[in-house]
């Protein structure tokens, strides 16, 4: 009976040791996080500049809300420190398009759906690994029923599209799958 108790304790000890080693492996090296970000340990800071709205159609709050969402994503999903300028990683860009257009024209030549599209041009610089640098346009859109005014649904649509674009930028910049 004593032999059985020792074996059971040994199994528990081995299990907890394996869990501990896995946690140390994933968190101790500073290279991988559970958000999927793969950032070199020497990278400590990020600077994200204000994204001006240079689209032909201007939405007053889009620049600030987009910039804030991008900053929040990197601060909350990585261990990087946000700095005003000169970060180890640097992101800047502009909003180049904000438009709505009719889709799904019906037989009576009335649109059943409209689509809101936002495009952002982004320049990413990794000061430790220039092979990761990029300049890319990110575009996302969402459709909404034509019987709704854009003014009634735009806040929700802008928030959802912003979230999708921010996720795309984050993935391209620091998730190397």
Contacts of 139 (CB under 8 A, 6+ apart): 97, 117, 118, 119, 120, 165
CA gap 65, 124 in Å, rounded? 19
Beta strands in 12-146 (DSSP E): 45-48, 81-82, 89-105, 111-126, 134-145
Residue 20, in any domain of the structure? yes
Residues 151, 66, single domain; the answer is yes
Residues 101, 68, single domain; the answer is yes
Residues 60, 21, single domain; the answer is no
Backbone angles phi, psi at 171, to 5 degrees: -65, -45
Residue 35, in any domain of the structure? no
Q: What's the token pair of residue 108?
A: 């009576």
Name the residue range of residue 8's domain: 1-30
pLDDT tens-digit map of 91-136: 999 999 999 998 866 666 666 789 999 999 999 999 999 999 999 9
Entry pTM = 0.78
Q: What's the token pair of residue 73?
A: 């994503």
User: At residue 89, does pLDDT exceed 80?
Assistant: yes
Q: What's the token pair of residue 15?
A: 């299990």
Residues 23, 46, single domain; the answer is no
The total of structural domains in the chain comes to 2
Residues 75, 23, single domain; the answer is no
DSSP, collapsed to helix, strand or coil, labels residue 88 as coil
């Amino acid at each position: 009976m004593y032999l059985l108790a020792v074996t059971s304790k040994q199994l528990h000890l081995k299990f907890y040791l394996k869990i501990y080693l896995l946690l140390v492996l994933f968190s101790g090296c500073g290279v991988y996080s559970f958000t999927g970000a793969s950032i070199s340990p020497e990278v400590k800071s990020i600077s994200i500049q204000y994204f001006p709205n240079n689209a032909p159609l201007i939405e007053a709050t889009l620049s600030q809300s987009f910039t804030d969402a991008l900053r929040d994503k990197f601060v909350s999903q990585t261990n990087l420190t946000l700095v005003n300028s000169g970060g180890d990683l640097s992101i800047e860009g502009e909003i180049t398009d904000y438009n709505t257009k009719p889709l799904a024209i019906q037989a009576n030549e009335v649109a059943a759906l409209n689509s809101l599209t936002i495009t952002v041009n982004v320049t990413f610089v990794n000061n430790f690994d220039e092979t990761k640098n990029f300049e890319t346009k990110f575009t996302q859109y969402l459709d909404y029923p034509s019987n709704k005014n854009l003014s009634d649904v735009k806040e929700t649509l802008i928030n959802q599209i912003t979230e999708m674009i921010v996720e795309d930028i984050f993935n391209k910049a620091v998730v190397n799958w």
